Structure 1
Amino acid sequence: MVFELLTKKLQEIVKKRGFKEPTLVQKLGIPPIISGKNVLLIAPVGLGKTEAAIIPIFDLWIRNKYKPISILYITPLKSLNRDMLKRLLWWGNELEINISVRHGDTPSYARKMQAELPPDCLITTPETLQAILPAKKMKEHLKNVKFVIVDEVHELALSKRGTQLTIGLERLRELCGDFQIISLSATIGSPEKVVDFISGGKPMEIVKAVETKEIKIQVINPKPIPSDISLAETVFTNRLTAVRLRTVHDLIKNHTSTLTFTNTRDFAEILTSRLKQAYPNFPVENHHSSLSKEVRIRVENEFKNQKLKSVICTSSLELGIDIGSIDYVIQYMSPRQSSKAIQRVGRSGHELGRVSDGVIISTDIDDIFESAVVARQGMAENLEPINIHENALDVLAHQIVGISRDKYRVSLDEVYRIVKRAHPFRNLTREQFMSVCRQLENLRLVWLDEE
C-alpha cells in the first residue's frame, strides 16, 4: 500500500487521522511526490487532493528536518488560506511542524513574529508572496524553501494574478535555487498548458485521478403559476422574475443544504434581498469577496452548522473551502463555461459514491440554449482549454519594480533573463521589455543606466 512508503511515525499519524485506505489521487500522487518529482495533481473536489500533496511533503520534511521556511502553500484566496490553516494545523501539531498563514489580513504582530520565528510551512497568496520577497528578514527565511504547493492552479492560470505568480516563482528561485513544485487542480481541459504555465520549464508529471462519478445537471425554464402575480407585486418585479424567485425558494426549501451561484456580486445581493423580502425569515445569506472577512466567516460557519439552508454566492465559494456537506447546487443563469458548471455542481455530493446534483435556472431562449450546451459539454467532460495571459505588460511593469526591490541594483540583462524564464513571457522581445522599463523610469519607479 502507498502509505507504506512513509516513515513509521507518519504512517501512525495517517491512521490516527482516519485514513484506512488511500484514495485514488493519493495512490497515484504520493509516489512521484515522495520521489522528488514536480507533479500536477488533477482530481475533483473532496477526494483527498490536499492530503495527497501534503503527506509526502511532510514525510520528506521529517526525514530531512529542513530549516524554516521550507514549505510554501499558495492558494488564490485569503478564505482558502484560512481553511487550509485549519486543515493543516492538525498535522502540524501531530508532527511538530510549525504552520502559519500570511495574507493581507494578517495582523502586524503576527507578521513580526513570522519574521523573528519563521514557520516551517507558510500558507499564503500570490500577492503576499511577492510582498515578502523584498522584505529583509523574510527574504533570508525564503532562501530555505524546498517545496512549493500551488492550490487551485487552474483558477490562477486563467488570470493575470497567475501570470504575476509565474514571475514571482522565478524571483523565489533567484533566492533559494530550485524547489519541488506540486500543483493541485480540478478537472481541466488542457493540463499540458497548465504544466507549461506553472513548471518554470522544469519537467512535471501529470497525475490524473478522475474517479468515476455521476454528475447530474438539469436545465429548467420555470413556468408561471397564478400565485406568481401576487409574489411579483410583493417584491416589486415582473412576473417572469417572480417565477424564477419562487423556483429558487422551492428548490432550496426541498433540500438540506444548497449553494446558489450567481454570475455577479450585485445579483447575489439582489437575489438574497428579494428572497428575504418575499419569504421573511427564510434562512439564506449571501457571500462574495467584497464582504468583510468577519461576515464571510460568519456565513460559512452558519451554513456549515446548518443554520442556513442556502448561501447565495459568486465564485467565492466555487473553490474547495470547507463549508460542510452540500446536497444541491443552483446556478442562476448560464455559468458561461462548462468547466465552471462542473466545478460548481461538483461542490455537491463530493464524497465518493455520491451524485453531484445541480440545476441551471435559465431566463430566456438564448440562455436556455447556452445553458443546455454548457451542461451537456460539462457532463461529457468536454471542457474549455486554458487560455493563458501572455506578455501582459502591466504585470511585467509590476514585476520589474519588484525585482529591482529584491536586488536593489540589478542589470537589465538579469531582469530580462528572470522574466523570460516565466512561461507567459517566453516570447517577450527586448524592445517590449525596454519600452516598459523606460516608461517606469519616466514615472520615477526605477532608475536606468543603459550605458
Structure 2
Amino acid sequence: MSSTTMEASAALDGFHPITRQWFTEAFPEPTRAQTLAWPAIAAGRSTLLLAPTGSGKTLAAFLVAIDRIMFGLPEPTLSENKPGVRVLYISPLKALGVDVERNLRAPLAGVRAVAQREGVPFHEPQVGVRSGDTPAAERTRLNRQPPEILITTPESLYLILTSRSRDILRDVDTVIVDEIHSLVATKRGTHLFLSLERLERLRREDDPQRRPLQRIGLSATQRPLDEVARLLGGAEADANPEQPVRPRPVEIVEAGRSKQIAVTIEVPVEDMTQLAQPVVTGSAAGAPQPASIWPAIHPRLVELIRGHRSTMIFVNSRRLAERLAAAINELAEEELALAHHGSIAKDTRLVIEDRLKLGQLPAIVATSSMELGIDMGAVDLVVQIEAPPSIASGLQR
C-alpha cells in the first residue's frame, strides 16, 4: 500500500463506521483536499482549506459535521422541544447556497441508507436555506423548527442575529464560510467577521467558558493565507484594555494543484484605434457618434457558443448581461443564451442553472452571480467580456 493510499485511508479513521462505509462505497478514495483537511476538522480545529474548484472541498467541510450530528452525542443548550442550528454554512451568493443544499442530499441519503441497512440508530439532520429569496412563511417555519444545518448569506446572518430569531443560533458549534476569498477584502467581509463575533458572544451568554466556534474557511484562490486565516479565526479579548488581544488559532491546509487552462485573448477588430474615430449615424443633424465594438463581438460569441457544449459568458453588470443575451439570440435567430444575475427571480435563476447543467441551454451570460464555485460540470468554455473586476474574480471565473 502506497503512502498516499495509507494517508487517504487514515483520513477516514475519524468517522463513524457507517459514514466511512458509505464513503468507501460511493467514492474510490478521498481527494487530496479531503485527505489533508479531515484530520484537522475532525479534531475540532478551525481550518482554512485552500483547494481548487471541483476538489471536493465542500464535502471535506461538511462530512465531519454530518457525522457528528447523525452519530455523535448532541450538545443542546436550548430545551429539548426546540433544538437549534448546529452547523451554519455561509455563502456569499444565494445561488451557491442553493447549489450546496442540493449537493448535501446525496451524502445525507447515502449515510441514511447504509445505517438503515446495518440497523444502526442515527439522527438525520434537517437542512434549511435562508436568504433574501426566502419567503416570509418559510422564514417563520425555520424560526419555529430550526434545522440542524442552516445555509445562509452574510446579510441574512446579520438579520437573524439582530432579531428575536437569534436564539436558534445558540447551539451552533461549526461555521463554514465558503468562497472566503470573495469576502476578505470587502466591507461585506468585515461585516461578516463582526457577525461571527456576535455569534460567539451569543453562544457564551449562558456559559462564558464555552469552547469557541469551529470555523472552517473554503477558498480556491486567496492569498496571503496567513491573513485570511487571521480574519477567519477572529480573536479573544478581555474587558481590561491593557490585556493583549489573542488571535484564535486556525490551521491552514493547502491542497492546491496546478491546472492546465487554455487562455486566448481575442480582439474583435483589426485596428482598435478606428473606434476612436466618430461616425455619422441617424439624421444629418445628429452629432457624430463613436464607432461601436459590439457588432464585431456578437457574431464571434454566436460562433463560440455553437462550437462548444456549454458556455458561460461573464460580464461586469446586470444591464450588459441582459443586452448581450438578447443580442446573441437576435443574431442567432434562436435561444442560445439567457442572462443570469441577482435581480432575476429565484425560481427563474434555478431553471436557468438546471437547463445549463442538463445541456438544454447552450450558454448563459452572467455577472458574479455564477462565479463562486457553483457546480457547472458540463461547461467547457468560459468567456470574459472586458476586464474582470479583480484578479481574484478573474482567477475564479
User: For this structure pair, what is the TM-score category when the shorter chain's length is used for normalisation?
Assistant: 0.7 to 0.9
- Aligned pair 1:305/2:321, yes or no? no
1:331 is matched with which residue?
384
Task: Give the CA deviation at 1:238.
Answer: 5.1
Task: Give the CA deviation at 1:239.
Answer: 6.8
2:91–2:97 CA contact under 8 A, matched in 1: yes
Task: Give the CA deviation at 1:204.
Answer: 0.5
Task: Give the CA deviation at 1:90.
Answer: 3.2
**1:271–1:160 Cα change, 3 Å:** same
Q: Which amino acid aligns with 1:142?
A: L
Q: 1:348-395, CA deviations, whole angstroms, 9 ceiling, x for partnerless residues? A: xxxxxxxxxxxxxxxxxxxxxxxxxxxxxxxxxxxxxxxxxxxxxxxx
- Aligned pair 1:171/2:198, yes or no? yes
Higher helix content, 1 or 2: 1
Task: Give the CA deviation at 1:196.
Answer: 1.9
2: CA distance, partners of 1:239 / 1:118: 54
2:126–2:149 CA contact under 8 A, matched in 1: yes
2:97–2:152 CA contact under 8 A, matched in 1: yes
1:261–1:312 CA contact under 8 A, matched in 2: yes
Q: 2:255 aligns with which of 198, 209, 213?
A: 209
2:88 is matched with which residue?
72
- Aligned pair 1:161/2:207, yes or no? no
Q: Which amino acid aligns with 1:170?
A: E
1:119 is matched with which residue?
147
Task: Give the CA deviation at 1:54.
Answer: 0.7
2:121 is matched with which residue?
none
2:95–2:370 CA contact under 8 A, matched in 1: no
**1:97–1:66 Cα change, 3 Å:** farther
Task: Give the CA deviation at 1:276.
Answer: 1.6
2: CA distance, partners of 1:239 / 1:185: 38
2: CA distance, partners of 1:243 / 1:105: 38
Q: Which amino acid aligns with 1:180?
A: Q
Counterparts of 1:87-106 in structure 2, within 5 Å, are: 87-93=103-109, 94-95=111-112, 96-106=124-134
**1:337–1:126 Cα change, 3 Å:** closer
Task: Give the CA deviation at 1:286.
Answer: 0.9
**1:324–1:174 Cα change, 3 Å:** same
1:194 is matched with which residue?
228
**1:238–1:250 Cα change, 3 Å:** farther
1: CA distance, partners of 2:50 / 2:395: 14
- Aligned pair 1:267/2:320, yes or no? yes
2: CA distance, partners of 1:105 / 1:28: 35
1:144 is matched with which residue?
171
SS at match of 2:263: strand
Q: Which amino acid aligns with 1:208?
A: E
Task: Give the CA deviation at 1:123.
Answer: 0.9
2:50–2:220 CA contact under 8 A, matched in 1: yes
Q: 1:10 aligns with which of 19, 29, 43?
A: 19
Q: 1:166-212, CA deviations, whole angstroms, 9 ceiling, x for partnerless residues? A: 11111111111321000111122322221122211211011111123
1:218 is matched with which residue?
264
1:285–1:299 CA contact under 8 A, matched in 2: yes
**1:338–1:103 Cα change, 3 Å:** closer
1: CA distance, partners of 2:329 / 2:142: 44
- Aligned pair 1:241/2:294, yes or no? yes
Q: 2:307 aligns with which of 228, 242, 254?
A: 254
SS at match of 1:322: coil
1:102–1:124 CA contact under 8 A, matched in 2: yes
1: CA distance, partners of 2:162 / 2:384: 42
1:24–1:211 CA contact under 8 A, matched in 2: no
Unaligned regions of 5+ residues in structure 1, if any?
A: 225-232, 345-451
Task: Give the CA deviation at 1:53.
Answer: 0.6
1:92–1:99 CA contact under 8 A, matched in 2: no
2: CA distance, partners of 1:58 / 1:15: 16
1:252–1:309 CA contact under 8 A, matched in 2: yes
1: CA distance, partners of 2:99 / 2:230: 28
SS at match of 1:203: coil
User: Structure 1 length normalisation: TM-score?
Assistant: 0.70
Q: 1:122-177, CA deviations, whole angstroms, 9 ceiling, x for partnerless residues? A: 111111112112433x3333111111111111111132221111111111111113
1: CA distance, partners of 2:302 / 2:144: 52
2:359–2:378 CA contact under 8 A, matched in 1: no
1:34–1:60 CA contact under 8 A, matched in 2: no
**% of aligned pairs identical?**
35
2:50–2:255 CA contact under 8 A, matched in 1: yes
SS at match of 1:30: helix
Q: 2:33 aligns with which of 25, 28, 35?
A: 25
1: CA distance, partners of 2:103 / 2:43: 24
Task: Give the CA deviation at 1:272.
Answer: 1.2
1:303–1:324 CA contact under 8 A, matched in 2: no
**1:282–1:111 Cα change, 3 Å:** closer
1: CA distance, partners of 2:108 / 2:386: 42
**1:173–1:215 Cα change, 3 Å:** same
2:341 is matched with which residue?
288
Task: Give the CA deviation at 1:48.
Answer: 0.3
Q: 1:70-109, CA deviations, whole angstroms, 9 ceiling, x for partnerless residues? A: 1111111221221111111333344411211112222233
SS at match of 2:312: strand
**1:84–1:336 Cα change, 3 Å:** closer
1:371 is matched with which residue?
none
**1:12–1:173 Cα change, 3 Å:** same
Q: Which amino acid aligns with 1:150?
A: V
User: Structure 2 length normalisation: TM-score?
Assistant: 0.79
1:301–1:323 CA contact under 8 A, matched in 2: no
**1:262–1:42 Cα change, 3 Å:** same
